[in-house]
Chain A
Amino acid sequence: MSFKTFTTAMDEPTPTLQTGKVVPSSGVSSPSPTPDKSARLNAPTVIDINNVDFYYSASKALHGIHFPIKEKLVTAFIGPSGCGKSTLLRCLNRMNDLIDGARIGAGSIKISGVDIYDPSVDVIELRKRVGMVFQKSNPFPKTVYENVVYGLRLQGVRDKARLDETVERSLRGAALWEEVRDRLHTSALGLSGGQQQRLCIARAIAVEPEIILMDEPCSALDPIATVKVEELIHRLKQDYTIVIVTHNMQQAGRCSDVTAFFYMGRLIEIDATGKIFTNPSQKQTEDYISGRFG
């Protein structure tokens, strides 16, 4: 049902972010909507989530989740705590494998047509292509430089020139280069919270993934650092497909193209972000977005 809502909504002309009732323009440099937005919503599907049931041991955390994630768009997962949005996110690069008793009970998740839970899939390769940024910035207790090249070193890259080039490109990509270029070889733990989080993004893009998963990347940041990360997200979607979990609905409104609303382990509604925030088709979505619950 939700899948159908989504696809039909995609064909309709979608309201732009600026006309949104709920979306605040509170002085934050909200990304200007691209003119060909409705065309881009028809972008090819990268992640195909197909009737997924997910269990933590005996308790069912996700019920029949079914929707596609489109290429080079920002897809936001919103919903109250415990609704399963982070669980679903962590299914996409199989981070849930690390949790005892966590398993997909039914359905499949395909990335570029490959079922990522197929036994033949190398989870290491998967995680190289699907990068992740965590809620709490988690730089390694190493230098800024070593943090960025960590992924490359794992792959056995020793070429100094290539490592240097990657560091600069990734840090520029994460809008951090100007701030840390003089302290590349000092500990990353000396950076501010916002810088650390952008360093984690730089570290993720250094291995050139195709998809970046972000699990509440700004929840521990102050408003200014949040704006920087959001601007960064807006820039990154030129090159990457981004999936972001957020508790902050303004943030979903500001930086996503598509928003999926989850409640109690079910997908309630998914649609163009403008539509979700102005004219949601489900009552529950409207209640949540207007702050009546959650």
Chain B
Amino acid sequence: MAATLSTATGTAPNSRPMDLTRKRRWRSVFSRGMDVVVGLVTLAALVPLVSVLYMVVSRGAGNFRWSMLWQLPPAAGMDGGGFGNALVGTLILVSIGTAVSVPGGVLTAIFLTEYSLGSKSARTIRFCAKILSGLPSILAGVFIFGVLVATTRTFSVLAGGLALGILMLPIIILATEEALLRVPRFLREASLALGANPTQTVLNVTLPAAGSTIITGVMLAVARAAGETAPIIFTALFTSYWIRSLHEPTASMAVLIYNFSNVPYDNMVNMAWTASFVLIVVVLVTNIVSHFVANRSK
């Protein structure tokens, strides 16, 4: 047996010579055709993305002046000015939204995956979160308008932040749940087998292991909230002045872009483009910084 194996280097007597030349078969034509289709579809998907980005950069970046970051919006027909108050407003609105939605969203996801996986209440909550993630954003604004603006009789930063929080909540719940489910079971078991209770296991093992994925989800929510216009119009409205308290209306980048983009003054229209450009850069920078921080803490 061993001898047969060791000498079997030549061609076996009965085998036909192998034909490895390429042939034009239907399946290879089909495969090549699909390659082309996939390439074209990818290109088609890139067209809107790239053209929007190109428009924003080409029309926004050129007019950018650093002073825009700390000047107030110009009056109609005037030159100069900036969007300092809108930038601050957006940062505060998104911060409030994040502060409201991240603890609630992450804790909800922990409840769903770690304490009640597969239970009826978990299924109900997940279903609600999915529905909520498809909620037209203006409805979040209308809801807060009814709950907070109409009752306090003032548009306010706080109301705007809460409306954004409502929009961010389902994104964070679903992203965090996904991240937690991806933490391998053996890590949880290792922790429990060492005498950890479920809470200690979540805090020390599961959350850190899912950390960077959760942050990706949070950033997705932040990016969406930063660009939202409709709920802000109903809640934080707009103002041409600096923000002084959380109980007053505030300017925001999204609403400024909306307002300035349909006026007949070139200065304002150009400023809307520049504001769009700055907003994209701010979201991008936040994204990069948060990933850097998350990866460093590992």
Contact = CB atoms under 8 A, between A and B. Distances in A.
Given A140-B205, A141-B298, A155 B118 contact: no
B243 to A, nearest CB: 42
A172 to B, nearest CB: 19
Interface residues of A, number: 26
Interface string B175-196: 0000000001011111111111
A127 B194 contact: yes
A95 B193 contact: yes
B193 A150 contact: no
B189 A134 contact: yes
B193 A93 contact: yes
Interface residues of B, number: 20
B194 A131 contact: yes
Interface string A137-175: 011111000000011011100000000000000000000
Interface string B255-297: 0000000000000000000000000000000000000000000
B194 A203 contact: yes
B195 A128 contact: yes
Contacts of A155: 195
A136 B186 contact: yes
A176 B141 CA distance: 60
B193 A131 contact: yes
B202 to A, nearest CB: 13
A125 B190 contact: no
B186 A138 contact: yes
B125 interface: no
Nearest to B185: A98
A31 B189 CA distance: 31
Contacts of B184: 138
Contacts of B204: 140, 150, 153-154
Contacts of A233: none
A154 B192 contact: no
B132 interface: no
Nearest to B205: A140
A71 B10 CA distance: 62
A142 B207 CA distance: 13
A95 B201 CA distance: 14
B208 A207 contact: no
Interface in B143-186: 184, 186
B186 A98 contact: no
A136 B189 CA distance: 11
Contact of A98 (B187, B192, B195, B208): B192
Residue of B184, B188, B196 ringed by the most chain A CB atoms within 10 A = B196
Contacts of A224: none
A94 to B, nearest CB: 9
Interface in A164-213: 200, 203-204, 207
A140 B193 contact: no
A125 B196 CA distance: 9
Given A150-B194, A154-B194, A155-B195, A141 B189 contact: no
B69 interface: no
Contact of B193 (A100, A132, A141, A153): A132
A140 B192 contact: no
A124 interface: yes
Contacts of A93: 193
A127 B208 contact: no
B63 interface: no
A127 B192 contact: yes
A93 B195 CA distance: 10
A140 B193 CA distance: 13
B67 interface: no
Contacts of B190: 134, 138-140, 200, 203
Residue of A127, A134, A138 ringed by the most chain B CB atoms within 10 A = A138
Contact of B189 (A131, A138, A203, A204): A138
Interface string B197-215: 1001000110011000000
Contacts of A154: 194-196, 200, 204
Nearest to B117: A100
User: Lowest 10 CB-CB distances: which A-B pairs, in order?
Assistant: A128-B195, A132-B193, A151-B194, A138-B186, A138-B190, A127-B195, A154-B196, A124-B195, A154-B200, A124-B197
Given A140-B187, A141-B298, A151-B196, 10 more contacts: A134-B193, A138-B184, A138-B189, A140-B190, A141-B187, A150-B191, A151-B195, A154-B200, A204-B194, A207-B194
11 contacts: A98-B192, A127-B193, A128-B194, A131-B194, A134-B190, A138-B184, A138-B187, A138-B189, A141-B187, A200-B190, A204-B194
Interface of B: 118, 184, 186-197, 200, 204-205, 208-209, 298
Interface of A: 93, 95, 98, 100, 124-125, 127-128, 131-132, 134, 136, 138-142, 150-151, 153-155, 200, 203-204, 207
